[in-house]
Structure 1
């Protein structure tokens, strides 16, 4: 158990929850007092629910004791148990205004995404059945890992607001890239950052949703680079990420991710210029092994950023050098 004195900065307590997926465990964070607050929930599964209950119990809490549940972004590994918590807790579910439309209708939205990939995206990109099938199966599994939250149990906050967590005011930051509705929470006095999936030890993949689910004026990785620059300006001693252990030296992590992104962009462009113009051909070379969503999303992020920079163009589902 983490011991904190009344005058010490309230440190978020990490609850590591299993996902049963290739993405590894996910973190929820608990502020036991003065009013118990849970940040993120894990996905909808019995192992994850049991781990969440065990984590609360280690601090003499149950879901019924929670004052508020805060969601960083509407991805199933971060909000999949939100509806189940409403059945066991008086706590409302708090999320950014940008994420509310997802939370009230998440399973349907994710099933619509499966159909978009099946009927439009993968055929347009010339995916053969043996590569399409595992991608679609992974998408369908994601759609099963959550439940919609009743609208009357949802409360919203906005970028620039302050949330009370552990008796301190944390600033709400909008940090798109991995997800359009991604928020982080920053405590300037204790120099702590709840970074969710915006800043991890390894760069997160920019999730590829249906057209209209996020702005398309700029590619996701352009927003991600802006979010890195935003967080780089903050004075941070400790980062509490959505996956993996907490870490320091956030500027070093950001610089490393920025350099890695540019390196992978160059590798992707070199492959396109060498004649590998279809997404399946690029995917098998950039991410060898069985096809997986994170690789596809990351590759799409590279291609869209290269197109935004005027280095490639998409024509008939193929990416040609400019």
Structure 2
């Protein structure tokens, strides 16, 4: 897991990196559950990890903190593997999932993939859900995603924070990419987390951590920087979307990357706004060189590689 933390009995964290979100597995006396399922290209690994953690038991319940592709891309594979599996999703986009409207969901806009899945009920904020042997509170956590939730177990004071809080920040504030004001929502969610007083946080990406006060301070400092300079957040978002796709591809030609950027609404809009005097090819080239300078990618001729 990357850090020496003590999790409650029956709770396992399957730390996946940045293409697939962490998976949190609960094995209780009478039932089992999983929070988030990773990205679709990792589905085979997701099945193996979950099966190993279950130790010959079946998976009863699947929850998604939100419906970004790196958190629910393995849903379809898990539903096929465990036919009796019950799936719960946040309520905000349940209608779009029911009809599978990829334009209304985030998959077309981000240029990402997510196989179609179904759901059985919604995770209503203000209610509780049984995960393993404990009852967990469901809290609305808008900001990174308007409809996201976090889950909190008050006895152990364990928080599943999804992308609302990482040890060093939080996820891209996607509503801002659509022109909606959402930085205030990020701040309100950070205030909620502080009020819950978690002793241990399992983030959507990265290792579990206990330095919650420091993490909140870092997140607020980052948020203040974005509020002061919204263009900084937009440029950050463009690089994150390119890096995510590179994590999926591992290697891609610059021409193919430019074609993907042109066909991907979020990316094409972001590069146009951030590089108004550039052609799309020039703007993508500038972002690529930013990734290379940051050590997040390497460039060999006209081929970009993940680093």
TM range (shorter): 0.5 to 0.7
Q: Which residue of 2 aligns with 1:262?
A: 224
Structure 1 unmatched runs, 5+: 2-7, 118-138, 271-277, 293-322
Give the Cα–Cα distance (whole angstroms) in 2 for the partners of residues 112 and 16 of structure 1: 23
Closer, same or farther: CA 108–263 of 1 in aligned 2, 3 Å = closer
Give the Cα–Cα distance (whole angstroms) in 2 for the partners of residues 104 and 289 of structure 1: 36
Q: Which residue of 1 aligns with 2:160?
A: 194
Q: Which residue of 2 aligns with 1:306?
A: none
| Alignment length (residue pairs) | 238
For the pair 1:88 / 2:88, whether they are aligned, the reply is no
- 1:88 Cα offset (Å): 1.8
Structure 2 unmatched runs, 5+: 2-6, 233-271, 291-307
- 1:86 Cα offset (Å): 1.7
For the pair 1:279 / 2:258, whether they are aligned, the reply is no
For the pair 1:39 / 2:5, whether they are aligned, the reply is no
Give the Cα–Cα distance (whole angstroms) in 2 for the partners of residues 182 and 107 of structure 1: 18
Matches within 5 A, 1:1-322: 9-10=8-9, 12-17=11-16, 23-34=18-29, 35-45=31-41, 48-61=42-55, 65-89=58-82, 90-106=84-100, 108-109=102-103, 114=108, 139-140=110-111, 142=112, 145-150=113-118, 153-201=119-167, 202-208=169-175, 219-267=181-229, 279-281=273-275, 289-290=287-288
Secondary structure in structure 1 of the residue aligned to 2:62: strand
Closer, same or farther: CA 9–219 of 1 in aligned 2, 3 Å = same
1:80-116 residue CA offsets vs partner (Å, 9 max, x unmatched): 12122222211111112223224334562268874xx
Give the Cα–Cα distance (whole angstroms) in 2 for the partners of residues 104 and 78 of structure 1: 18
| Comparing 70-79 and 197-206, the one that deviates more | 197-206
Q: Tell me if structure 1 keeps the 8 A contact 2:46–2:74.
A: no
- 1:154 Cα offset (Å): 2.0
- 1:14 Cα offset (Å): 1.1
Q: Tell me if structure 1 keeps the 8 A contact 2:21–2:204.
A: yes
Give the Cα–Cα distance (whole angstroms) in 2 for the partners of residues 234 and 254 of structure 1: 12
Closer, same or farther: CA 82–105 of 1 in aligned 2, 3 Å = farther
- 1:180 Cα offset (Å): 0.8
Closer, same or farther: CA 78–107 of 1 in aligned 2, 3 Å = farther
CA RMSD after TM alignment: 3.3
Give the Cα–Cα distance (whole angstroms) in 2 for the partners of residues 155 and 67 of structure 1: 14
Give the Cα–Cα distance (whole angstroms) in 2 for the partners of residues 113 and 69 of structure 1: 20
Give the Cα–Cα distance (whole angstroms) in 1 for the partners of residues 85 and 289 of structure 2: 39
Secondary structure in structure 1 of the residue aligned to 2:287: coil
1:164-191 residue CA offsets vs partner (Å, 9 max, x unmatched): 0121111000000000110000011111
Closer, same or farther: CA 228–146 of 1 in aligned 2, 3 Å = same
Secondary structure in structure 1 of the residue aligned to 2:207: coil
- 1:280 Cα offset (Å): 1.7
Give the Cα–Cα distance (whole angstroms) in 1 for the partners of residues 53 and 101 of structure 2: 32
Q: Tell me if structure 2 keeps the 8 A contact 1:37–1:68.
A: yes
Secondary structure in structure 1 of the residue aligned to 2:193: helix
Closer, same or farther: CA 10–107 of 1 in aligned 2, 3 Å = farther
- TM-score w.r.t. the length of structure 2 is 0.67
- 1:207 Cα offset (Å): 1.3
Secondary structure in structure 2 of the residue aligned to 1:100: helix
